[in-house]
Amino acid sequence: MKKNMVISALAVLVLSLAFSTGSVTAGDSTRFAGTTIKIIAETQNPTLALEKLLPEFEKLTGIKVQLTHGPIDSVVQKELLALQSGTGEFDVISAPYQFLGSFAENGYVLPLEPLMNDPKLSVIPGFDKNDIIKGMWDASGLWKGTYYGIPSNTCIMMFFYRKDLFENREERADFKKKYGYDLQVPQTWKQHRDVAEFFTRKRGQVLAGQRLTHDFYGTTIAAKRHDAMTCEWLNYAWSFGGGIFDAKGNLIINDPKNVAALEYFVELKKFSPPGVTNNTWDEVTTQFQQGIVAMAVHWNDCAPSLEDPTASKVCGKMGYGAIPVGERPAAHFGAWTYFIPKTSKNPEAAWLFLQWANTRAVQKRLALTGGFPCLKSVYGDPELVQKLPYWEASLEAYKISSTRPRIPEWNEMNNEMMLELSRAISGEQTPKQALDALQEKYQRLLKGQLPLSYQ
């Protein structure tokens, strides 16, 4: 009898430990065992890390996951085709959050409340929807009072700079001699322009006591006709006091403040590597890794690549902070959002996956591999704060974040913005001409009506 009691006690202990590690769960967590769900996402560090964790989800639930991932343009194209054709090819899609309004208005994706409120589906240990940072969740998943998605990876734009150069005594002395004030991480766009000019050097000149074997540039910009350019330029527009809409939803894209922001953006070509019209965030990251640029406005989820000693010449030399301020602070919030298509063959199993992916244990492991979570508990984790040099700057940037419009018209608006900004960058049009043209296009597209998000 005692022997059986000991065995029972050990069994309870083993199960308790299993619950705490997330390897098994109680209730109906395995009710969908044998089901296969299909997921598509962009190839990012968090996606690759998540892929390695999928066996744990299968062990927990018995649900198999087929994960497809690839470059952003290819992934979005496949997602849109699947949604528009109604094939039911995917059970979960991870898509840029600006598609939220379009997906919801077209009935492409399921509202999450029925799934969230079903007690039979609340079976994933460690998932707490109240731990999700409300601002991030609202920006990425809330449309007209209903949640249609849950963050899959969040990111924010902030300021990257070569800390070692800014701290170099010789460079600090030379800068003050030339510009009359102390070299510091730029707080204003005037300082930013001075520093960009100052650090631009030719091969053979000296930088931080070393003779350059290659040209060096004070900054770099993402100026390809691509989503990367519109994402970056909006930081300048917001900071200069402009934007796309005013607080009441009126179009202001050709406002003089936006014109000034675009003129400034175009001028930065002078202090950037050749060929910036081919730059997306990938090329900007590579230019930092190669050690040929001093600073840039960039996505925080690119920082881990710069801190990788096997791939980056600037590992340990980087600093991270707030974007320079014009009229107001700015930091472009970006997110990929998990959506469950209306045509999913396994929506309940898909919801179990979304819960598991947003548990603290999974989110922390993704953060350690370069991801950015949406949970309050993970952002406050002491190990992450101490270990990741870009963590605190990211936290501060999220506090002042601005979002792209998530209205159904945004995809077409973004395409037109790419076109007109690229014309200004190439010199085909002046910044004012480009934004005047964009204002007219937006007026025709919106037909003089306020966007849905302002109604």
* Mean pLDDT score, 344-371: 95
With vertex at residue 435, the alpha carbon angle to CA 430 and CA 440, rounded to the nearest 5 degrees, is 130
The pairing of strands 36-42 and 92-96 is: parallel
Confidence of residue 452 (pLDDT cuts 50, 70, 90): low
Confidence of residue 13 (pLDDT cuts 50, 70, 90): very low
* Mean pLDDT score, 265-281: 97
pLDDT recorded at residue 46:
85
Better pLDDT: 290 or 2? 290
With pLDDT > 90 as the criterion, what percentage of the chain qualifies?
86
Question: Phi/psi at 412 (nearest 5 deg)?
Answer: -70, -40
- Asked whether the predicted pLDDT for residue 451 surpasses 90, the reply is no
Secondary structure, 3-state, 415-433:
HHHHHHHHHHHHCCCCHHH
pLDDT recorded at residue 198:
98
Question: Which residues does residue 217 pair with via DSSP β-bridges, in sequence order?
Answer: 293
* Mean pLDDT score, 85-95: 96
- Asked whether the predicted pLDDT for residue 23 surpasses 70, the reply is no
Q: Mean pLDDT for the chain?
A: 91
pTM comes to 0.87
- Asked whether the predicted pLDDT for residue 18 surpasses 70, the reply is no
Lookup result for tokens 């520093």: 195
- Can you list the alpha helix ranges (DSSP code H) found in 359-409? 360-367, 376-379, 382-387, 391-399
Query: DSSP letter string over 93-149?
Result: EEEEGGGHHHHHHTT-B--SHHHHT-GGG---TT--GGGB-HHHHHHHHEETTEE-E
* Mean pLDDT score, 231-257: 96
pLDDT recorded at residue 272:
98
- Asked whether the predicted pLDDT for residue 286 surpasses 70, the reply is yes
Helices 227-239/410-426 angle, 10° precision:
80
Q: Which of 291, 208, 243, 282 is nearest to 43 (CA)?
A: 282
pLDDT one-digit tens code per residue, 116-150: 999 999 999 999 999 999 989 999 999 999 999 99
pLDDT recorded at residue 450:
66
Cβ neighbourhood burial of 5 (10 Å; 0-12, 13-18, 19+): exposed
pLDDT recorded at residue 376:
92
pLDDT recorded at residue 5:
34
Confidence of residue 448 (pLDDT cuts 50, 70, 90): confident
Q: Which tokens sit at 209?
A: 């006591």
Q: What is the CA radius of gyration of the chain?
A: 24
Most confident among 26-35, 312-321, 397-406 (mean pLDDT): 312-321
pLDDT recorded at residue 453:
59
Single-letter amino acid, residue 22: G
pLDDT recorded at residue 44:
85
- Asked whether the predicted pLDDT for residue 17 surpasses 60, the reply is no
- Asked whether the predicted pLDDT for residue 360 surpasses 50, the reply is yes
- Asked whether the predicted pLDDT for residue 188 surpasses 70, the reply is yes
Helices 189-199/256-267 angle, 10° precision:
10
- Asked whether the predicted pLDDT for residue 11 surpasses 50, the reply is no
Query: DSSP letter string over 276-302?
Result: GGG--HHHHHHHHHTT-BSEEEEEGGG
